[in-house]
Structure 1
């Protein structure tokens, strides 16, 4: 179900000069922020959790997910070049799964690794905070990539909608509005981090069993529906 040629083309598109600059900018900002906080605050588990939870998990991970998820397929649909790919003897589900794999790999690389580094800078992994948020970033990367890849297949305004979701729902409502937290990938991944952390600095409003179920269900459902939409697009093009 993994196609090396599709993967190579997708990596090349995602890691082009303009997107690469954006992908590197957010992790660099997180690292810089962590260095400054460590210099002025010192080692503080609560502050470390606030930085990693408030910026890394609530803002950086979903934004990188938007760039990687929508960028894996959206531009090809917008400019019509997807037709050349669909004309090849490659299953549509194989295309989607390959592009999802690439989007997940890019999102993980540009979010989980910087999160781990920032955690060590902030408190040297005290209370397992760095590892907890790194694992949370990893699992969130899968769900975000699947969601935004689907968005890239169904809308020409995927980036705009994705940014509104990432900055509005996840970073704002998902953090502040109690009722919205149950439907937040951020809170689902926080449930995983809460289980790993050894202190009480990490909390989630969603229990781990429900969070795990929702992460898996959303990722699988989004991938399946994206495959169905790609099949529909092919039929429409042939007609």
Structure 2
């Protein structure tokens, strides 16, 4: 069974990169790069400043927001307007539809989050202590998990964007910074564990150990993708009834 369908991918890309979503997708990385360039010009290269910007804005805010746009946008609008019925009527396996949409969402998320994060890191401190590379890898890994989570949300609620924003801004950014116990269940902290491994000693810290972080990243991504597939299958059965 093929796990990737080019036609589904093309339609998903077209939907994700429509005028409204594309404006947001370009605006967030552009803001990060403008902020990074301004900070470098005003204060010069500094490792601590680079860590604060990349960890506080890029990984904590920009990456999950782009994940919300890409993940929910990969399937949510089709469910909302009913056009998913036409997609499900095609002779395409349901797991193929979900996996194809996940691949597209991940690709868009990585392009608009990990790449700008890497560029911002070089602007801020020239990749001193591998900080730019570390945060870029963390952004890419987090993008995979976020895409799966928000793709799943897109299949279970018409308010997926709102739910995604609440998760990204309230849980990840607010609770994840203020409540120690919440950090263990934070995609950001899991990704930071990988960044900590790559970055220079003491440059980046995470509240989650690397083995646990990898396990949770893989587990959440697989579980969310599986549940999205199950939900899509139930939508097919309902349509047939």
TM (normalized to structure 1)? 0.99
Distance 1:121 1:175 in 2: 26
Gaps of 5+ in 1: none
Counterpart in the other structure of 1:166: 168
Candidates 81, 86, 96, aligned match of 2:83: 81
Candidates 37, 46, 49, aligned match of 1:47: 49
In the TM superposition, residue 39 of structure 1 has moved relative to its aligned partner by 1.3
Candidates 137, 141, 144, aligned match of 2:143: 141
Distance 1:50 1:56 in 2: 9
Distance 1:41 1:136 in 2: 25
Counterpart in the other structure of 2:11: 9
In the TM superposition, residue 88 of structure 1 has moved relative to its aligned partner by 0.5
Counterpart in the other structure of 1:98: 100
Counterpart in the other structure of 1:232: 234
Distance 1:201 1:21 in 2: 33
SS of equivalent to 1:88: coil
Q: Which whole-Å deviations, capped at 9, do the CAs of 1:175-227 have from their partners, x for residues lacking one?
A: 22111000000000000000000131210000000000000000000000100
Counterpart in the other structure of 1:178: 180
Distance 1:131 1:31 in 2: 15
Which consecutive aligned stretches of 4+ in structure 1 deviate over 2 angstroms post-superposition?
Answer: none
Distance 1:39 1:199 in 2: 26
Distance 2:90 2:27 in 1: 36
Distance 2:60 2:126 in 1: 21
* Equivalent runs, 1:19-38 vs 2, <5 Å: 19-38=21-40
Counterpart in the other structure of 1:119: 121
In the TM superposition, residue 171 of structure 1 has moved relative to its aligned partner by 1.4
SS of equivalent to 2:185: coil
Gaps of 5+ in 2: none
How many residues end up aligned between the 2 structures?
A: 239
Distance 2:183 2:173 in 1: 11
Question: Could you say what the CA RMSD is over the residues aligned between the two structures, in angstroms?
Answer: 0.6
TM (normalized to structure 2)? 0.98
Q: Which whole-Å deviations, capped at 9, do the CAs of 1:69-89 have from their partners, x for residues lacking one?
A: 000000000000000000001
SS of equivalent to 1:90: coil
Counterpart in the other structure of 1:209: 211
In the TM superposition, residue 117 of structure 1 has moved relative to its aligned partner by 0.2
Counterpart in the other structure of 2:155: 153
In the TM superposition, residue 172 of structure 1 has moved relative to its aligned partner by 1.4
